[in-house]
Amino acid sequence: MMGSCSVPLKLAFYDMLANDWQVLGCFMYPSHVPAWLAALVASGLLDLDMLNLRSFPLQDLEAALDSAVKLRGLDVTVLTMDAG
Protein backbone atom coordinates (compact mmCIF):
# COMPACT_ATOMS: atom_id res chain seq x y z
CA MET A 1 0.00 0.00 0.00
CA MET A 2 1.27 3.45 -0.87
CA GLY A 3 -0.42 6.76 -0.21
CA SER A 4 -2.89 7.59 2.47
CA CYS A 5 -6.48 7.02 3.47
CA SER A 6 -8.82 8.95 5.72
CA VAL A 7 -10.64 5.87 7.06
CA PRO A 8 -9.28 2.96 9.11
CA LEU A 9 -8.18 -0.12 7.19
CA LYS A 10 -10.37 -2.95 8.42
CA LEU A 11 -8.43 -6.16 8.06
CA ALA A 12 -9.21 -9.30 10.03
CA PHE A 13 -6.16 -10.96 11.56
CA TYR A 14 -7.59 -14.41 10.77
CA ASP A 15 -7.93 -13.48 7.07
CA MET A 16 -4.28 -12.43 7.05
CA LEU A 17 -3.20 -15.76 8.53
CA ALA A 18 -5.52 -17.91 6.42
CA ASN A 19 -4.48 -16.22 3.15
CA ASP A 20 -0.79 -15.76 3.96
CA TRP A 21 -1.11 -11.99 3.52
CA GLN A 22 1.48 -9.45 4.55
CA VAL A 23 0.73 -5.78 5.10
CA LEU A 24 3.48 -3.34 4.21
CA GLY A 25 3.02 0.41 4.07
CA CYS A 26 4.78 3.50 2.87
CA PHE A 27 3.29 7.00 2.99
CA MET A 28 4.82 8.16 -0.28
CA TYR A 29 7.29 6.84 -2.81
CA PRO A 30 11.08 6.56 -2.51
CA SER A 31 12.92 9.29 -4.44
CA HIS A 32 14.01 6.94 -7.26
CA VAL A 33 10.47 5.85 -8.21
CA PRO A 34 9.50 8.70 -10.63
CA ALA A 35 12.62 8.12 -12.77
CA TRP A 36 12.07 4.34 -12.61
CA LEU A 37 8.45 4.68 -13.79
CA ALA A 38 9.48 7.06 -16.60
CA ALA A 39 12.08 4.51 -17.74
CA LEU A 40 9.46 1.73 -17.74
CA VAL A 41 7.14 3.86 -19.88
CA ALA A 42 9.95 4.89 -22.26
CA SER A 43 11.01 1.26 -22.72
CA GLY A 44 7.44 0.15 -23.46
CA LEU A 45 7.30 -2.13 -20.41
CA LEU A 46 4.58 -0.05 -18.77
CA ASP A 47 1.55 0.52 -20.99
CA LEU A 48 -0.35 3.67 -20.05
CA ASP A 49 -3.18 3.07 -22.55
CA MET A 50 -5.35 1.62 -19.80
CA LEU A 51 -5.41 4.96 -17.95
CA ASN A 52 -8.36 7.32 -18.35
CA LEU A 53 -6.41 10.53 -18.87
CA ARG A 54 -7.95 13.99 -18.71
CA SER A 55 -5.54 16.80 -19.49
CA PHE A 56 -6.07 20.48 -18.67
CA PRO A 57 -3.95 23.55 -19.45
CA LEU A 58 -2.78 25.38 -16.33
CA GLN A 59 -5.22 28.24 -16.92
CA ASP A 60 -8.07 25.71 -16.48
CA LEU A 61 -6.94 24.82 -12.97
CA GLU A 62 -10.45 24.95 -11.52
CA ALA A 63 -11.78 22.49 -14.13
CA ALA A 64 -8.79 20.21 -13.44
CA LEU A 65 -9.52 20.28 -9.71
CA ASP A 66 -13.19 19.47 -10.38
CA SER A 67 -12.03 16.51 -12.47
CA ALA A 68 -9.52 15.35 -9.86
CA VAL A 69 -12.18 15.29 -7.13
CA LYS A 70 -14.11 12.69 -9.16
CA LEU A 71 -11.15 10.33 -9.80
CA ARG A 72 -11.93 6.61 -9.62
CA GLY A 73 -9.91 3.53 -10.51
CA LEU A 74 -7.45 4.33 -13.28
CA ASP A 75 -8.57 7.93 -13.84
CA VAL A 76 -5.79 10.51 -14.06
CA THR A 77 -6.03 14.31 -14.17
CA VAL A 78 -3.00 16.14 -15.57
CA LEU A 79 -2.14 19.84 -15.67
CA THR A 80 -0.04 21.00 -18.63
CA MET A 81 1.89 24.18 -19.25
CA ASP A 82 0.11 24.73 -22.60
CA ALA A 83 -0.45 28.37 -23.48
CA GLY A 84 -3.95 27.54 -24.57
Position 7 in a domain: no
Rounded to two decimals, the pTM is 0.49
Tally of domains within the chain:
1
Residue 79's Cβ-side half-sphere holds a number of Cα atoms within 13 Å equal to 11
Inform me whether the pLDDT recorded for 80 exceeds 80.
yes
1 lies in some domain: no
Classify residue 84 as exposed, middle or buried by CB count within 10 Å of its CB (0-12, 13-18, 19+).
Answer: exposed
The torsion region of residue 34 among left (phi > 0), alpha (psi -120 to 50) and beta comes to alpha
> If DSSP codes are grouped into helix, strand and coil, which group holds residue 13?
helix
Q: Which domain, by its residues, includes 45?
A: 13-80
Closest CA relative to residue 49, chosen from 41, 57, 59? 41
Task: Give me the mean pLDDT over the 12-40 stretch.
Answer: 84
Residue 2 domain-assigned? no
56 strand-pairing partners: 79
Window from 42-46, 51-55, 79-83 with minimum mean pLDDT: 79-83
